[in-house]
């Protein structure tokens, strides 16, 4: 299954649909009026002039849901804690109509190149890129009392078999990811303003990286609560309630994903 997210900062979805269909691409609508499933294409969907112009991003429909759930306002001050390669970052900018400010943090210098490339290609103007480890960068933010309205933590995870056909992950890998995810979500809550919201997501199916992380943060802290997300808001994909009420899980044939939303209450 292949999907594209139309970049409404640059083009109307129906105009792009017509352009691609005139080239032999068969597109089907989704629950998002700016996202389409690519049913057929006579060429690679990542090698068109429209792609190079930044008119769309090839992206799984599952990975479009976390920014939609975060639901940023146009003037929001947003932190994207693990931003590369920029699919969700540019989606947030699109939802914000290039207004407000996004601080996009990425630990990997090599992955920052892809993040910069996508931000430039998609015409994003409201994003500051920071090449840093959030576990260290948080000290600078806290020292300067910089807090955010909303935070996206699409956490590094052990992945899934749909995304990586050669996936071979050990229990130690999963435990390592879980520990890092718990550390990052704790940092995220520290950096939220009161009444601010954080969306946590992974493309892993492992409970240790998903429900266990949410359970951990809810037990550890008394300044955060879980916000209920309804699966029926997202039609046409294999999405169900997670193993904690109010969270979401997406299953194959769609790309597996876990999504939870938290609010800072103190």
Residues belonging to the binding site for S-adenosyl-L-methionine are 82-88, 106, 133, 154
Torsion of the alpha carbons at 188, 164, 44 and 64, rounded to the nearest 10: -30
Q: Identify the CA nearest to 27 among candidates 15, 16, 40, 14.
A: 40
Q: Are strands 148-154 and 127-131 parallel, antiparallel or unpaired?
A: unpaired
Annotated binding site: 82-88, 106, 133, 154
**Closest by Cα among 91, 64, 89, 39 to 17:** 39
Among residues 149, 143, 227, the alpha carbon closest in space to that of 188 is found at: 149
Q: How far apart are CA 193 and CA 150, in angstroms?
A: 8
How far is 124 from 118, CA to CA, in rounded Å? 9
Q: Which residues are identified as catalytic?
A: 203
């Amino acid at each position: 299954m292949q999907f594209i997210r139309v970049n409404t900062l640059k083009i109307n979805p129906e105009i792009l649909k017509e352009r691609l269909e005139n080239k032999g691409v068969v597109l089907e609508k989704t629950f998002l009026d700016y996202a389409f499933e690519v049913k057929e294409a006579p060429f690679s969907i990542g090698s068109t002039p429209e792609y190079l112009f930044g008119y769309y991003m090839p992206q799984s429909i599952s990975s479009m849901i976390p920014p939609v759930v975060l639901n940023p306002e146009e003037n929001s001050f947003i932190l994207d804690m693990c931003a590369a390669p920029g699919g969700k970052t540019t989606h947030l900018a699109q939802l914000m109509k290039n207004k407000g400010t996004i601080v996009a943090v990425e630990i990997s210098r090599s992955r920052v190149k892809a993040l910069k490339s996508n931000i430039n290609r998609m015409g994003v103007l409201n994003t500051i890129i920071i090449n840093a480890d959030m576990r260290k960068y948080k000290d600078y933010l806290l020292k300067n009392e910089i807090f955010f309205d909303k935070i996206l933590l699409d956490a590094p995870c052990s992945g899934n078999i749909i995304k990586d056909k050669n996936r071979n992950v050990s229990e130690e890998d999963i435990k390592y990811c879980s520990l890092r995810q718990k550390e990052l979500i704790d940092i995220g809550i520290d950096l939220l303003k009161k009444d601010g919201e954080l969306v946590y997501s992974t493309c892993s199916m492992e409970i240790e990286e998903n429900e266990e992380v949410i359970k951990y943060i809810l037990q550890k802290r008394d300044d955060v609560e879980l916000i209920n997300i309804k699966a029926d808001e997202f039609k046409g994909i294999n999405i169900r309630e997670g193993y904690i009420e109010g969270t979401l899980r997406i299953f194959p044939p769609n790309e597996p994903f876990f999504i939870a939303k938290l609010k800072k209450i103190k």
